[in-house]
Structure 1
Amino acid sequence: MSKSKDHYFLYSDEFLDNEEAEYRIEDWLPKDGVSVLYAPKDHFKSFLAIDWALCIATGIPWKGFEVEQGAVLYIAGEGNYGLRKRVRAWALYNKQELDKIPIAISKNAISILKESVVEEWLEHVDFAVERFKQPLGLIVIDTLASSMGAGDENSPTDMAEFLNVLKTKFKARYDCTVLVVHHTGKDRTKGARGGSSIEGNAECVYEISRVKHTKDELEENDEEPSKKTIRLSCKHIKDAEPPKPIELKSVVQELGYTNKYGKQVTSLVLELTFSIIELKVLELTRANMSQRDIAKHISNDTKTYTQTQIKRIQDKFREKGLLEPDKPGRKKKNEENQEEPIVL
């Protein structure tokens, strides 16, 4: 059977190439389709969206995960000034030259369900792509509510049409990733507004929640940690294994200038609550590697780790519910004896 040039069907002889899911952010943000990030108010939704957007725009890894670089358009329905501050804070924190980053933030909201409005916006997006002199990697819609116009978030028909317009008018036209920032409903336990309509039409759905801290952590911090620590979870992803949850905390970043009252202007950025080494231990533990093998794997010429140190790190993750509880009396064969020195 010869290869077809049919634009409507893909034939069996075209299935033979080995294919795997492609990501804009490794394991987290698929390149294809439209993804949705949701959380209640004041859960750092826009901070995370900015973090993802700027990592994509600059091509630097996001919290250790590789990214595919591309220009970014951030269509904001509100808080334009606050977003500009967050972009500046991110650039300073990550030591990036702000004016060299290929990102633009809209001055107004968009009404996705109005065809005439969308057609007008596409002209401006075309202009932005031309100015960037590079393809778009990501379009962020923040938030769904401010971009829906007269549509009803709780209507399955309106929600399906909203996501379909993003797929057919934006994703397909620019071959880019689309991320929608969204709110939960009044009952947070039921997830995002629109519920099943979103999961049925989105490529990937993420939830941000507050982190429950241990008593020791609460005593060690002057400020309530739950006010600034979040957990990002993948609630739904099509045709791929969802990534494991990750915890992030907000830290203050000075912007390098003062306001008219003489006070330093600041914003927030998100960083990992765990070190890169701790996250590596988490990854290797989930891959069923023994404590001894983990210690050997992460040790190097300047730092040697012991099985006891690995266990402490694992216990930390178990307390937070990121690892299954350790079953009493269960030990792998190579951990039955007392700790042995790691030979590099």
Structure 2
Amino acid sequence: MSGEAPAFETISKDQFQREQQPKQRKFPLTPLSEIVIDDAEPEFLVEDIMPSRGLATIYGAPGSAKTFLAVDLALSVAGGAPFFGKEVSQGGVIYIAAEAGAGLKKRVIAARLEKEMPDSAPFAMIELAPNLGPKKNDTAALIADIKREWSYSAPVRLVVVDTLARTLRGDENSAIDMGAFVDNAAAIASAFNCLVVVVHHSGKDAARGMRGSSNLNGATDCEWQISGDRVRTVSLHKMKDAEDGLTWLFRLEQRQVSANSGKRSRSTCVVVPETSPKPIETKPTRPQPKGNRRLVLDAVYDALASHGEVMPVCNDLPRGRGVNRKYVRENAMLRGVGNPENPDGQRSLISKELGHLNAAGWLRQWGDWIWVP
């Protein structure tokens, strides 16, 4: 047996110190005692109706004023101005005008003037359409360019992507492609600890929500749907950590903005609030009309469809479509309401049934106009 001492491998001092240091944790644990709420971080971007971080959508049919509302939201955040009476968390805004870059400029200028904001507000626009889809996407380059070019002291709180259709180079109906878009939007939100708002289209059946794969709906923290024509309705369908089911109204009003030369002006519109966000009023159930009353109500619907028109501007008439009483009467007579051999009695019966329907809230009438509320 040899009397030689066993050989041991020696390590350097630097190697020893590295091995003694704890390895960086990929999935660190936070004990209960350290789970606290950071009061310095705002919970809402817009009080009660839009979160400060994550992914949100504003969607509606073509021509529903989605972009006008998105611009109004963006300028409210950049300027710290209330949005439909709600307080905002002021901060920087990046607006990706992927669908109407050149046309968006006058909308932004008009909204800034309407809100009496200085042009030094932390707002910047991108007039190109980055690829946020599944293949060869521009997400990393977009984040890097924003970080490199952002010159304001205010942190970025909002990135608007207008629209999804122009920035998803793929199939909206594909769960894989939509999932990639959602992941890229989440990467942007994470990079700036902000909210990403995506402007999107509703499907053919507006009642079924947004167009395309349900992956988007599943990933969103907040959803606003726009409906209506002259007076638009915004419906809050989904809101993380707050009450949903709120609605508010707005209309568009025309404004003129001047070009740099000042020699010619261009026309655009701005958002004018009609109401502030409030819970949807649930209407009590009412018995369905029967007999002659049902026939007269059906006559109103048919007359509106065939002879309806925009009612004149009048303090006693709402904005919207109505129909002249004579068309309702003619339609009711064709449906067999009353005795045609007694014209006066027939007209009286139709007027009486219209009065009952008005009292029950099925329709409204004033003068010769009848409309459905």
Q: Give the TM-score, by structure 2 length.
A: 0.63
Q: Deviations over 1:278-323 (max 9, x none)?
A: x59x78x99xxxxxxxxxxxxxxxxxxxxxxxxxxxxx9xxxxxxx
Distance 2:42 2:148 in 1: 30
Q: How does 1:81-230 map to 2 (within 5 A)?
A: 81-97=102-118, 99-113=119-133, 114-115=135-136, 117-129=138-150, 131-149=151-169, 151-167=170-186, 169-194=187-212, 196-210=214-228, 226=229, 228-230=230-232
Letter in 2 for 1:269: V
Q: How does 1:1-344 map to 2 (within 5 A)?
A: 8-15=28-35, 17=37, 22-97=43-118, 99-113=119-133, 114-115=135-136, 117-129=138-150, 131-149=151-169, 151-167=170-186, 169-194=187-212, 196-210=214-228, 226=229, 228-242=230-244, 244-256=246-258, 264-274=265-275
Letter in 2 for 1:179: V
- 1:189 to partner: Cα distance: 2.5
SS in 1 for 2:269: strand
Distance 2:227 2:92 in 1: 29
- 1:199 to partner: Cα distance: 2.0
Letter in 2 for 1:54: L
Distance 1:116 1:61 in 2: 35
Q: Which has the larger radius of gyration?
A: 2
Task: Structure 2: give runs of 5+ residues left out of the alignment.
Answer: 1-24, 283-317, 319-359, 361-373
Distance 1:157 1:102 in 2: 35
SS in 2 for 1:37: strand
CA contact (8 A) 1:76 1:141 kept: yes
Letter in 2 for 1:253: R
- 1:204 to partner: Cα distance: 1.0
SS in 1 for 2:58: strand
Distance 1:80 1:94 in 2: 21
- 1:10 to partner: Cα distance: 3.5
Distance 2:50 2:188 in 1: 17
Letter in 1 for 2:64: H
Q: Give the TM-score, by structure 1 length.
A: 0.68
CA distance 1:272–1:111, shift in 2 (3 Å): same
Q: Deviations over 1:171-196 (max 9, x none)?
A: 11111111000011222232111353
Distance 2:153 2:188 in 1: 18
Distance 1:16 1:70 in 2: 24
Letter in 2 for 1:147: T
Identity of aligned residues (%): 30
Other-structure match for 2:313: none
CA contact (8 A) 2:97 2:163 kept: yes
Letter in 1 for 2:252: S
CA contact (8 A) 2:201 2:210 kept: yes
Distance 1:57 1:199 in 2: 27
CA distance 1:15–1:256, shift in 2 (3 Å): same
Task: Structure 1: give runs of 5+ residues left out of the alignment.
Answer: 211-225, 287-315, 317-327, 329-344
Distance 2:37 2:167 in 1: 39
- 1:258 to partner: Cα distance: 10
SS in 2 for 1:100: coil
Letter in 2 for 1:55: S
Matched pairs, number: 257
- How large is the RMSD of aligned CA atoms in angstroms? 3.0
Letter in 2 for 1:248: F
Distance 1:34 1:267 in 2: 29
- 1:6 to partner: Cα distance: 8.2
CA distance 1:88–1:17, shift in 2 (3 Å): closer
CA contact (8 A) 2:55 2:197 kept: yes
